[in-house]
Chain A
Amino acid sequence: DTAVSQTPKYLVTQMGNDKSIKCEQNLGHDTMYWYKQDSKKFLKIMFSYNNKELIINETVPNRFSPKSPDKAHLNLHINSLELGDSAVYFCASSFAPGQGVRWTEAFFGQGTRLTVV
């Protein structure tokens, strides 16, 4: 009954490979995100989807391609992996605010530690 679940938790792969990370949420949220955490713990947003529509696409190499088959799922596919892609990737979900409703918190998955060798 995990709220936001990511798979796999650890991913070790060679340079040049293609890999995917999957994310699912069972909270009924309408918005999902991918964040990247670097070795200094800094968190930076990569993508955001609202009701399966891409609404945020930060400056990310086009080797990274998100896909949202439905509101509860957001996957991240990475082509031609590079050493610099090594990081922890977090999926998160939240509600977009309704009329007169304040911004609420986002819930995070456990993270996927990607190591490119």
Chain B
Amino acid sequence: GNSVTQMEGPVTLSEEAFLTINCTYTATGYPSLFWYVQYPGEGLQLLLKATKADDKGSNKGFEATYRKETTSFHLEKGSVQVSDSAVYFCALRAGGTSYGKLTFGQGTILTVHP
């Protein structure tokens, strides 16, 4: 079946540090890939997405590139802020027997200190 693996957390950074959260996936067919963010006490919001190989998704200074050859979709940001503290989820949607359900990684807790 489909699966998503994210780097272990939690991640703690100082403000303006560089962020990378690794994400790799296993899927049949041609999945679409997503990063969702969950701020404390809130629901999940789409952060960015990529629907085909070599696409780059970007939003709010975050970027991720769909790499089919390495089955990866790593999240990066050049300079994090305290307000970026949240839980980040890598996810995919694919067809076949998964019927297009979103399959999530385990989530990475990010804490940014001033």
Contact B109–A41 (Cβ < 8 Å): yes
Is residue B78 contacting chain A, with contact meaning CB distance below 8 A? no
Interface residues of B in 1-42 (CB under 8 A from A): 30-32, 34, 36, 38, 42
Which among B46, B89, B95 is the interface contact of A103 at CB below 8 angstroms?
A: B95
Which of the residues B30, B44, B94 comes within 8 Å of A108, measured between beta carbons?
B44
Contacts known (A41-B109, A109-B43, A110-B43); A102 close to B52, Cβ less than 8 A: yes
Q: Which of B83-114 contact A (CB under 8 A)?
A: 87, 89, 93-95, 99-104, 106-107, 109
Nearest-neighbor residue (CB-CB) of A95 within chain B: B100
Report the interface size class on chain A.
Answer: 20 to 34
Q: Which of B43, B46, B51, B93 contacts A90 (CB 8 A)?
A: B43
Q: Once the chains bind, are B87 and A103 in contact (CB under 8 Å)?
A: no
Given known contacts A41-B109, A43-B107, A45-B102, A102 and B51 CB-to-CB distance under 8 angstroms: yes
Contacts of B43 in A (CB 8 A): 90, 108-111
Give the interface size class of chain B. 20 to 34
In the complex, are the beta carbons of A97 and B44 less than 8 A apart? Answer: no
Min CB distance, A25 to chain B, in Å? Answer: 13
Instruction: Give the docked Cα–Cα distance between A31 and B102 (Å).
Output: 12
Alpha-carbon separation in the docked complex, A75 to B52 (Å): 33
Give the A-binding residues of B (Cβ under 8 A).
30-32, 34, 36, 38, 42-46, 49, 51-52, 87, 89, 93-95, 99-104, 106-107, 109
Given A48-B101, A102-B52, A105-B46, 12 more contacts at CB 8 Å?
A41-B106, A50-B99, A56-B99, A97-B95, A103-B51, A103-B100, A104-B32, A104-B49, A104-B51, A108-B44, A111-B42, A111-B43
Where the two chains meet, the residues of A that have a C-beta atom closer than 8 Å to any C-beta of B are: 31, 33, 35, 40-45, 48, 50, 55-56, 90, 92, 94, 96-97, 102-111
